[in-house]
């Protein structure tokens, strides 16, 4: 006798919003147009008590797990479905709000991370911020090696790992976010759990796939000097559950935009 198997479809989005209160209008537009079930935000730049939860609740996002701080950093996971077992790991080792993780009722872990940008000089001897970024990756690698549950890792990794992940590999090879040491650490992190890079699963290299464009560009779309700094990785055991993926590039042109575009992956569990 045939057995009916119920499929749960989930749309999960990730977006470095660069101040959620300053960009509420475009957040609302994004939620109304794309209707994700879960939204992971980075760089919310707000303490938990001042997070604009009302907007999200009006749109049906009644489950909210926040890890904020004043003016800088901050991450949040906003959801229409229940979330449990939230964690806040201090991979920066200084108390900055750069991670929040939850478990869904279907067993999936979602880990939302904002990895440090790393400053301007790719040399930890003269730029402590770069050293903090490298150490952040090392702590993540240690955590990732010990993972034993199906997990989705999302966020602003602040590294464009492949040559095709930047507008010019030649011009950016010594620029923070695309240096050899950062790309090597990113590869070690990926190999530590066998993470599947969802972006490249659906858009294999060397296809163009950018998520960030500098505010300095007079016309970001025309110059298209992008980098792929934002990522969604999934445990290999559930990689086949990802059925679609897209970067909403158009959001970069909305009113008062973030310099990052949101990413959305749809899963069928």
Q: What is the CATH classification number for the domain harbouring 182?
A: 3.60.10.10
The answer to the question of residue 3 being in a domain is: no
The answer to the question of residue 66 being in a domain is: yes
Closest to 219 measured CA to CA, from 249, 253, 247: 253
Give pLDDT, residue 7: 86
The answer to the question of residue 84 being in a domain is: yes
Residue 44 and residue 51: Cα distance in Å, rounded? 8
Q: Strands 230-234 and 99-104: what pairing?
A: unpaired
For 182: left if phi > 0, alpha if psi spans -120 to 50, otherwise beta; the answer is alpha
Average pLDDT for the chain = 96
Answer whether residue 112 shows pLDDT above 80. Answer: yes
User: pLDDT confidence of 102, banded at 50, 70, 90?
Assistant: very high
Answer whether residue 56 shows pLDDT above 60. Answer: yes
| Residues 46, 68 contacting (CB under 8 angstroms) | yes
Query: Into how many domains does the chain fold?
Result: 1
Looking at per-residue confidence, does 230 or 5 come out higher?
Answer: 230
Domain limits at 254? 10-268
Give pLDDT, residue 180: 97
Residue 233 tokens read as 């990785």
Report pLDDT digits (tens) over 1-55. Answer: 555 678 889 999 999 999 999 999 999 999 999 999 999 999 999 999 999 999 9
The answer to the question of residue 5 being in a domain is: no
Looking at per-residue confidence, does 70 or 27 come out higher?
Answer: 27
Which residues on neighbouring strands pair with residue 42, listed in sequence order? Answer: 16, 75
The answer to the question of residue 151 being in a domain is: yes
Answer whether residue 71 shows pLDDT above 90. Answer: no
The answer to the question of residue 212 being in a domain is: yes
Mean pLDDT of all residues in 207-219: 96
The answer to the question of residue 4 being in a domain is: no
Tell me how far CA of residue 122 lies from CA of 1, 48, 179, in angstroms.
62, 33, 7
| Residues 34, 12 contacting (CB under 8 angstroms) | no
Report pLDDT digits (tens) over 185-198. Answer: 999 999 999 999 99
Give pLDDT, residue 1: 54
The answer to the question of residue 2 being in a domain is: no
Mean pLDDT of all residues in 155-170: 98
% of the chain beyond a pLDDT of 90 = 94
3-class secondary-structure state, position 252: helix
């Amino acid at each position: 006798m045939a057995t009916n198997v119920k499929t749960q479809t989930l749309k999960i989005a990730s977006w470095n919003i660069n101040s959620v209160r300053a960009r509420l209008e475009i957040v609302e537009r994004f939620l109304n147009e794309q209707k994700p079930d879960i939204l992971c935000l980075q760089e919310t730049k707000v303490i938990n008590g001042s997070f604009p939860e009302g907007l999200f609740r009006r749109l049906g996002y009644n489950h909210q797990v926040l890890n904020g701080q004043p003016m800088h950093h901050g991450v949040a996971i906003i959801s229409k479905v229940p979330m449990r077992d939230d964690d806040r790991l201090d991979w920066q080792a200084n108390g900055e709000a750069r991670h929040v993780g939850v478990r869904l009722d279907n067993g999936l872990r979602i880990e939302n991370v904002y990895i440090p940008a790393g400053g301007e000089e790719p040399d930890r001897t003269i730029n402590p911020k770069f050293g903090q970024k490298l150490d952040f990756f090392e702590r993540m690698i240690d955590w990732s090696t010990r993972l034993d549950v199906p997990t989705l890792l999302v966020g602003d990794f602040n590294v464009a790992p492949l040559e095709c992940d930047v507008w010019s590999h030649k011009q950016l090879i010594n620029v923070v976010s695309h240096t050899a040491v950062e790309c090597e650490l990113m590869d070690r992190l990926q190999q530590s759990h066998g993470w599947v890079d969802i972006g490249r699963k659906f858009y294999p290299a060397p296809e163009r796939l950018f998520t960030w464009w500098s505010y300095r560009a007079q016309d970001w779309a025309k110059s298209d000097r992008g980098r792929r700094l934002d990522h969604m990785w999934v445990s290999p055991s559930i990689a086949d559950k990802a059925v679609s993926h897209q970067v909403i590039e158009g959001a970069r042109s909305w009113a008062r935009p973030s310099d990052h575009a949101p990413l959305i992956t749809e899963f069928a569990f």
